[in-house]
Amino acid sequence: MPELATSSPSSAFPHLLSPLDLGPFTVKNRLVMGSMHVGLEDHAKDAPKLAAHLAERARGGVGLIVTGGCSPNLSGRLTPHGAQIRPGHMDAHLLVTRDVHEADGRIVLQLLHAGRYAFHPLAVSPSGGRSPITPFRSRPLTRIGVRRTIDAFARAARAGVEAGYDGVEVMGSEGYLLNQFLAPATNRRRDRYGRTAEDRRAVPLAVAGAVREAIGPRGLLTYRISLQDLVKNGQDWDEILALARELEARGVDVLSTGIGWHEARVPTIATSVPPGAFVDVTRHLREQVSVPVVASNRLHDAHIAESVLADGSADLISMARQLLADPQLPRKLEAGRENQIVSCISCNQACLDKVFVGERASCLVNPRAAHETELRLLPVPVQRRRKVAVVGGGPAGLEAAISAAERGHTVTLFEALDEVGGQFLFAARIPGKESYGEALRSWRTRLVAAGVGVHLSTRADAEMLAGFDDVIVATGVRPRVLDLPGFAPPADPAAASGPGPRVLSYAQLLSMPRERALAEVGERVAIIGAGGIGVDVAEFLTAPLPSFTEDLPAWRERWGVVDPAERRGGLAVRERTGQAPTALLERSAVPTEVHVLQRRTGKIGKDLGRTTGWVHRAELRHAGIIEHRGVAYRAIDAAGLHVTEPGTDPGAAPTETVVAADTVVVCAGQESERGLVDELALLEDGPRVHVIGGADVAAELDAERAIRQAVETAAAL
C-alpha cells in the first residue's frame, strides 16, 4: 500500500493556501466552491439540509462559497418551482448564511436569470425563440421588461446582503440571459440593447451597476463572465475584453470565468476533457484586467490548481464537483494529506445528471454530499465497536471498509486479486476515463489512513470469516455467459483460438494492457452489447494513443476549440463531408472495422448519462463505428458472428447477417458473485451478513448505488 504524504503544506501549495484581499474582505485561501445547484435551493423546507451541506464545506476550510443560482424574478426561474429571491421571504437564506458564518466561512449569493433556458412557459430572452435544450419558446423582452429585469436584480441583491450573504455573484455565463444579450447568436434586437456590440453589453453592464449600488461597498460583487461561448456567432475576444474592463468600471470586485453554453456541442467538464483545458484563455483575461480572476473547469487536482496560480494564469481556483466529493479538501492540503483527498472523477452521474431531471444531487464517490443530515457517519463508543470483515476490494468494498473503520470499528478487507479496485480497474483503462485511476489511488491511501487491515490475493471463505461480528459481502460481478452456439471464451485470454473469431469477455479484454490488446484483436472486432461497458470497449479499441484527454492540442482540434480571438465563440468552422472521419485511425494502430451490436432498436448509448452520453456517442461517430440495432444473436463459427437484423424497409422480413470479425468481445451484462453468501448462511451463530454492490444487484454496474449502499451499511453498524 502507498505511504502517507509527509510533505509540508506551505511548500507544496503556497499559492493555493495563501490569503487574498478581495476588497470588502480577505479570503483565507484561493479555493472557491463554485456555484452548483444541488436541488435543495428551490424550497424553504430544504433550507436546513442546504445549510448543513454548505456549512460542512465551510468547516472544511474553503475560502469562498457561491450558492446555486437563484432567479431575481419569476420569469428567470430555471424551472416552474425553481429558486427565486423574494424580498420579505428570506428566512431560509438567513439559516444558510448563519450556519456558514458560524463555520468560519464566507458565502455569496448567485443571481441567475435563465432567459431562454427556462423550463417553463414564462421564459423570456433578448429576441425570443427556443433554445435546443428546452421545449418552451421564449418571448422577447420589451424595453420596459428589460428595465424591470434590471430592477429585479438590484432588489434581489439587496435582499441577499440583508439576509447575511457576504456579496453577490451575477451569472453572466453558460448561455443564461445576460450571456444571451451579449452574443449575436441570440441577440438580434434593433434597439439600443442589440444593434452593436456596445449595445449588446448594455444590459449586463446595467445589471452589474445596479447590483453594485444595491449591495453597497461592503458587499463583494463577482461577475461570472463567459470567455468562450463555444457556439456559432458567440462573442469574440475584443467584445469579451471590453465587457470585462467595463465591468471593472462598474465596481465588480472579481471576475469568475465560465466556459461554454449548455447547448454547446463541446464538452467542458466531462471526465474526457483534459485538466486545465481552458487555462490559456483565463490567463489572457487576467493579463488585461486589474481585479482578481477565478479559473474554472476541470481543475480538480490540487497540484494543477497550484501551478495555475503559480504561473499567474489566475488568482483563485473554482472547484464545485471536487468539493462535493471531498468537503475537507482545503484542510487536507493544509495538513499535508493531499493524497487522501477523495477524487472527483467528473462522471456527473450523481450530481449534474440528477439535477437535470429534477432530483437532488449527490456524488458518486461521496454519497453524503447534499445528504449530510440523513447519512451520518458518527463515531461509535468503544463498547459498541465491532470486528468487521469486508470481502471484495471494488468501489463498494473499499468505501464500506473505510467508512466503517473511520467510525471506529476494527476492519479487515479481503481481496482475491493482487490489487484492489474491482471494476474501476477496467474503467481507468478506458481513454477519457483516466481520472478513475485517481479515485483508486485515493482509496488505497485512505485504507492505510483509516487503519484497515488489507489481505490481497486472498479468497475468503466462511471458515475464515467465522470469527467476525459482521461480514460485508462486496464480491462484485462476473461477465454473463451467453447461451449461444460457438460461444466459449477461453479461460486464458492469451490462449490460442480455434477456427473463427477469437471470443473474449470484456473483463478479459480490459485486463490486458491497451497496447497489447490493440495488437491482438485484429483488424475487425464485433462487440456484443451496447450498454455502458460496450461503449467503453468501443472507445478502448478506437481512441488514439495517447488519448485526447492526455493530448490537449489534439483534443482541441478534435472538438474544434480555438482562441476566441481567432473566431467568434472560440469555435472552429467544420465542413460536413458526409464521410466517416479517419483522424483516429491515422493517429494509432487500432482496428479498422469495429461493429457494435445491441438487441434494442434504440440508438446506441441511449441510456448513458444525460450530460455525458452525447460525448460518448459523438466519439463513436467520429471513430466510424458500425452500428447494428435490433439484432438477434444466432451463433459464432468460422465465418464470424451470425445475427438476424431488421429489414431495411418498413414491414420487411428480418435478414440473416454474418459479421466477419477477428475478435468478438462480449459485453452482454453481468451476474452477481454470491457464492460466499450461501456459504455464510450455513454457519451456526455466524456473523451478521450484509450484501452490497454488484453482489447484491448486478444490473448496469451502478457504482453510485454500490457506493451509497456501502456507506449506508457502514453507518448502520
Q: What is the pLDDT of residues 79-123, one digit of tens each?
A: 999 999 999 999 999 999 999 999 999 999 999 999 999 999 999
**Percent of the chain, pLDDT > 70?**
95
What CATH number does the domain located at 382-479+671-716 have?
3.40.50.720
Distance linking the first and last C-alpha atoms of the chain = 26
What's phi and psi for 493, nearest 5 deg? -65, -15
Active site residue 436: no
Q: What is the DSSP string of 416-447?
A: SSSSS-THHHHHTTSTT-THHHHHHHHHHHHH
Q: Is the pLDDT of residue 1 over 60?
A: no
Q: So where are the chain's domains?
A: 9-355, 382-479+671-716, 502-543+588-668
Mean residue pLDDT across the chain: 93
Q: Is the pLDDT of residue 607 over 90?
A: no
What pLDDT digit, counting tens, does each position of 560-571 carry? Answer: 999 999 999 999
Whether domain 9-355 has CATH 3.40.50.1100: the reply is no
Pick the range with the lowest mean pLDDT from 84-93, 341-350, 639-648. Answer: 639-648
All cell numbers assigned to 52: 448543513
What pLDDT digit, counting tens, does each position of 507-544 carry? Answer: 999 999 999 999 999 999 999 999 999 999 999 999 98
Dist. CA 388–CA 640, nearest whole Å: 49
pLDDT of residue 487: 73
Q: Is the pLDDT of residue 576 over 70?
A: no
Q: What confidence tier does 130 reach under pLDDT thresholds 50, 70, 90?
A: very high
What CATH number does the domain located at 502-543+588-668 have?
3.50.50.60
For the residues 610-633, what does the mean pLDDT come to?
A: 92
Q: Pick from 39, 19, 165, 36: which is nearest to 100 by CA?
A: 165
Residue of 117, 176, 193, 633 marked active site: 176
> 502 with 496: CB under 8 angstroms?
no
**Percent of the chain, pLDDT > 90?**
87
> 184 with 233: CB under 8 angstroms?
yes
DSSP state of 169: E
What pLDDT digit, counting tens, does each position of 479-503 carry? Answer: 988 888 877 766 666 555 567 799 9
Q: What confidence tier does 585 reach under pLDDT thresholds 50, 70, 90?
A: very low
All cell numbers assigned to 200: 449588446
